[in-house]
Chains A and B, each alone.
Chain A
């Protein structure tokens, strides 16, 4: 959906992005992580066609940000890290204006505003002034404004900053529901924990470069990683697992193993049944999402 090649962006005196190349997959949630000042915001602004690269290309859905910035603007929603709202307007008017500003006609704008409010869980706040909303609700309103025109791409810069745990959970659910609706999301953050719940891919930005030079897959729709823990040690566990068809053993031991198998649930059920039939005292059999923090530090160190 988004393809970046050899992107260079400079501010006077320093190079914020230095030869960045990456691809963002359509319909996935890609986490953009890295320390403060790594270049995440600049990268997002380049994706949003708000900044012109010094060199290199950024294409969104095949459109170049240099030659077709306005067409790209129509494709995407963008939530900056420090966003603003029209505090004196009601939630309804904020959303109505956002809908009209994104080209939705006067007749359809009210419906689009109501739909965006419903998706963001703001239907009961429509008459409240934006300035009277809590931090979490303001965040939701800002996201609702960004999605009111149902963009194909949503770019979010530090969306969970300053949110309480409940608001973060609500945000995760909202982002997952947007992904299920077919939207491509890029979410930047320097707090890894908040990205773990919903990210499929991760891009690590460090000193204006992509650490490791590539996008890291965190959740693979075609394969599932399963963690197996036995109640009692069995030296034959590795041999047993290696003998199974359609399974890749990623790590093994007498009591623990990590395997990768196809995403089909029936294959997981078959593996569990085989383990039990062969007398393995299975204490734990669970999907193992890669811990973002482990992946992050492994990549940064490499």
Chain B
């Protein structure tokens, strides 16, 4: 057996804990059968969420965070357990007690769909619930593997944030089917994606499995990085490409929400949706990744020395996302310029300048305030986008709005935003390149 799984089973799935869970569940189901407070299926579903998602995400996040807290992570990194085995050992081992409780709930949840809609619907619903639990836990584990690189030292906050990420991912998906009844109602409905009509249940089911596969891939790659394997940029680029394609397929949705884009045609609509993906990942990864100034200086030295391939192979995800954002953003601006919506090219170009400025703010704050700099950067960026335009308007200086927001029909917008972007980036580069102080 995978040694990491075995160790986790020793620690987490001890007979006392499992007996306690089984006894508790027995009492809950007996009480729900004997009263009108909740049906056994409803109680089972609530308990499944508790075991697999609420508590499961905490267990998954703690599987790594606790190793660091208890100072056992170094010895694990030095072990010969590979990243794949380590990932599954933690993902299934640390959550073994949770899965024990969750699996005991499944028969109570699946009995009504089996009775009313047949075994196929019950099996599909069961697989969805299992995949959903695993997805939430994988997202929590992935978040923890990313957060530990920031070395915050605040394990409670880290665990909570990872738990929130996992629960959020599960809820985002489950909101499509808010209950078992809604799940049954979606059978027969359709969804349009890339112009093709799909059964909504099958589409959501396939989406869940694909996102689960990506979450597991992310965990595996983050674990590889922890165990000192070289990762390279290509899987991250593939993930971005997948997200862009997935997102761009919903052009009929954006046409409903932003009908003005209909004038630019389906290509621009799809490009607009695709460009949102690297833009959002830019910001999220810039916040999550450490942006170590020493590493950035080393990267700069590699670039100056002409070692482009070596530098490209170790680029951080936020830098890769920024590159993709620039490419898609410029393509989008070019498309707008060539269409009868040419006025929209300016805000797109201005937005790219603002993204450059914001990422540079993240790096700059990191060099100034270490790990806490990311929160300072968020506050500064929020102030620039939310407070400053209001202030400018309040002072009847709405002309200054171009300094803070991408403005349509203002050719100065791109110049102003890029001037800010280049200025802050130059400042950040100066800080990164500043000479060290010897102890």
Per-residue interface assignment for chain B, residues 6 to 36, with 1 indicating a CB less than 8 Å from any chain A CB and 0 otherwise: 1100110000000000000000000000000
Do A73 and B439 touch (CB < 8 A)? no
Do B229 and A14 touch (CB < 8 A)? no
A251 to chain B, nearest CB (A): 37
> A276 an interface residue at 8 Å Cβ cutoff?
no
Among B7, B67, B80, B227, contact of A103 (Cβ-Cβ < 8 Å): B80
> A125 an interface residue at 8 Å Cβ cutoff?
no
For the complex, what is the distance from the CA of A98 to the CA of B80, rounded to whole Å?
A: 10
In the complex, which residues of chain A have a beta carbon less than 8 angstroms from the beta carbon of B10? 89, 93, 97
For the complex, what is the distance from the CA of A98 to the CA of B72, rounded to whole Å?
A: 11
Interface residues contributed by chain B, number (CB under 8 Å):
32
Do B3 and A78 touch (CB < 8 A)? no
> A240 an interface residue at 8 Å Cβ cutoff?
no
Per-residue interface assignment for chain A, residues 157 to 196, with 1 indicating a CB less than 8 Å from any chain B CB and 0 otherwise: 0000000000000000000000000000000000000000
Do B79 and A82 touch (CB < 8 A)? no
If the complex has contacts A49-B228, A84-B70, A86-B7, are A208 and B438 also in contact, measured as CB distance less than 8 A?
yes
Per-residue interface assignment for chain B, residues 279 to 311, with 1 indicating a CB less than 8 Å from any chain A CB and 0 otherwise: 000000000000011100010000000000000
> A85 an interface residue at 8 Å Cβ cutoff?
yes
Do B74 and A78 touch (CB < 8 A)? yes
Among A49, A83, A100, contact of B75 (Cβ-Cβ < 8 Å): A83
Q: Among residues 39 to 80 in chain B, which have CB atoms less than 8 Å away from a CB atom of chain A?
A: 67, 70-72, 74-80
> B316 an interface residue at 8 Å Cβ cutoff?
no
If the complex has contacts A10-B436, A12-B367, A13-B436, are A73 and B72 also in contact, measured as CB distance less than 8 A?
no
> A16 an interface residue at 8 Å Cβ cutoff?
yes
Do B79 and A14 touch (CB < 8 A)? no
Do A14 and B80 touch (CB < 8 A)? no
For the complex, what is the distance from the CA of A82 to the CA of B71, rounded to whole Å?
A: 7
Nearest residue in A to B439 (C-beta to C-beta)?
A14
For the complex, what is the distance from the CA of A97 to the CA of B436, rounded to whole Å?
A: 42
Nearest residue in B to A99 (C-beta to C-beta)?
B3
Max chain B C-beta neighbours (<10 A), residue from A10, A11, A101: A101
In the complex, which residues of chain A have a beta carbon less than 8 angstroms from the beta carbon of B374? none
Among A86, A89, A207, contact of B439 (Cβ-Cβ < 8 Å): A207
Q: Among residues 39 to 80 in chain A, which have CB atoms less than 8 Å away from a CB atom of chain B?
A: 39, 48-50, 54, 69-70, 73-74, 76-78, 80
**A15-B437, A48-B78, A106-B1 known, 7 other contacts, Cβ within 8 Å:** A39-B439, A70-B227, A80-B75, A86-B70, A89-B10, A93-B10, A101-B3
Q: Which residues of A does B touch, CB under 8 Å? A: 10-16, 18, 37, 39, 48-50, 54, 69-70, 73-74, 76-78, 80, 82-89, 93, 97-98, 100-103, 106, 145-146, 207-208
